[in-house]
Amino acid sequence: MRLMDATLIVDPEIENVAEWCRVNGVNPRTFYRHRARILAEGEWRPWSRRPHSSPAATPEPVVALVLRLREELAPDNGADNIRVELETLVNSPGWPVGTRVPARATINRILDRNGLLEKNPRKRPRSSWRRFAYARPRDCYQIDGTEHTLADGSVVVAIDVLDDCSRVWVASHVAPAETPAAALVAIGDAITGWGPPGLILADNGTAWAHPRRSRDKTLTSVFSRTVSAAHGSRVIHSSPYHPQTCGKVERLHGTAARLLNHRWPEPAATIADLQTRLDQVREHYNTRRRHSALNTTPALAWTSAASHGGPGDLPRQDDATIHKIKVMPNGTVALADYRISVGREHAGTIATLLRCGERVTAYTTNGDPLGHITLDKTKKYQGKVTQAA
């Protein structure tokens, strides 16, 4: 077709059209159709296949509202938050009669058409997510630190504490460095304001883990011993090099940074100034910002919970069970009708086993992961747990 169109644009004299079409493998009807279009328009250009009317398209007033809310709701201006705001405007005078609130995907397509969608092809699709959260508020707090740079270029650390179930940002403490003392202040503020949790989940940083625990799992940190003695909360640790375990508080760092940059483009001058800013952002995050995982605010999720956990009550899971079992002299534990080996070096100690379906994860009394195994119902002895990566 390109040869034919180029030939017709040049407009040579073709004495025998039928013979030319036969030689070039073109249908004569196509030849005459293309020649007529080129004579009329000067060149061959495919016509738009867009329908003359789109009755099911989103009305322009709604499109304008989506674009306006994208700007007004920044930085919490994703499709989910825009849709929630649109639901409050359905009964307003300017809303088109008979028009439903557009779906999340429709809002994203509107933003994409207008060049307002931030595309990140490296993100995993939502269908691949497997969400895990404790069943009640105060079952587990996650704690972690993140760096902030002050106006003079110095780097400080904000230690954030987040409730795993309700996503309430229970505390944030700014300190010159991530130390056990700073971590104790942060968790103390969280417990004072929201109560002690049953578990405290942390990574393997030296602020909450013994610096030599990689060599000797029996060593406990100052942070762990102090929290356990004062409040009865048990500190557990994620596997090394596996930040997804503490993913909720890790994502909180990014959200906090975006909220800070949106309100105060310039960095804080002092630690006290940064602490004041974080306290204001934390109040907005807990009470006014809708969390997409909860479909409400974290504070409302906390207050509407049927019950709350704590040190005197083990976390409850609908899809998992927790077992505290003494390790036998041969290094095995008895879980129902199964025998699982955790290692002879743990003989006589108490192991905590978390069973979720056929998967069993074993922890020491200090909260260190011993490994995991998938149960085989065809045999009694399951073998040794796979060491945590």
Helix or strand holding residue 66 (H, E): helix 60-72
Task: State the Cα torsion 162-164-166-171 to the nearest 10°.
Answer: -10
Helix or strand holding residue 113 (H, E): helix 104-113
Average pLDDT value for residue range 241-245? 74
Does the pLDDT of residue 127 top 60, yes or no?
no
Does the pLDDT of residue 240 top 80, yes or no?
no
> Are 84 and 290 within 8 A, CB to CB?
yes
Model confidence pLDDT, tens digit, residues 91-121: 888 888 888 999 999 999 999 999 988 777 6
Mean pLDDT of the chain: 88
Q: Closest Cα partner for 259 from 355, 163, 154, 160?
A: 160
Model confidence pLDDT, tens digit, residues 187-208: 999 999 999 999 999 998 889 8
Letter for the amino acid at 84?
V
Number of H helices, E strands in the chain: 11, 12
Q: What share of the chain is helix, strand, coil (3-state, %, to 5)?
A: 35, 20, 45
Q: What is the pLDDT of residue 156?
A: 97
Partner residues linked to 353 by β-bridges: 323, 362
Q: What is the pLDDT of residue 126?
A: 59
Partner residues linked to 92 by β-bridges: none
> Are 308 and 314 within 8 A, CB to CB?
no
Tokens found for residue 228: 């356990």
Does the pLDDT of residue 213 top 70, yes or no?
no
SS3 assignment, position 276:
helix
Does the pLDDT of residue 300 top 90, yes or no?
yes
When comparing pLDDT for 73 and 191, which is higher? 191
CA 365 to CA 373: how far, in whole Å? 19
CA 362 to CA 4: how far, in whole Å? 73
Q: What is the pLDDT of residue 389?
A: 47
Does the pLDDT of residue 135 top 90, yes or no?
no
**What percent of the chain is predicted at pLDDT more than 90?**
51
Hey, where are the domains in the chain? Answer: 2-41, 60-121, 140-303, 321-384
b/e for 105-114, b at 16 or more Cβ within 10 A?
Answer: ebbbebbeee
Partner residues linked to 296 by β-bridges: 291
Q: Which fold has domain 140-303?
A: Nucleotidyltransferase; domain 5 (3.30.420)
Tokens found for residue 116: 């307002």
Please count the CA atoms within 13 angstroms of the CA of 346 that sit on its side-chain side. 27
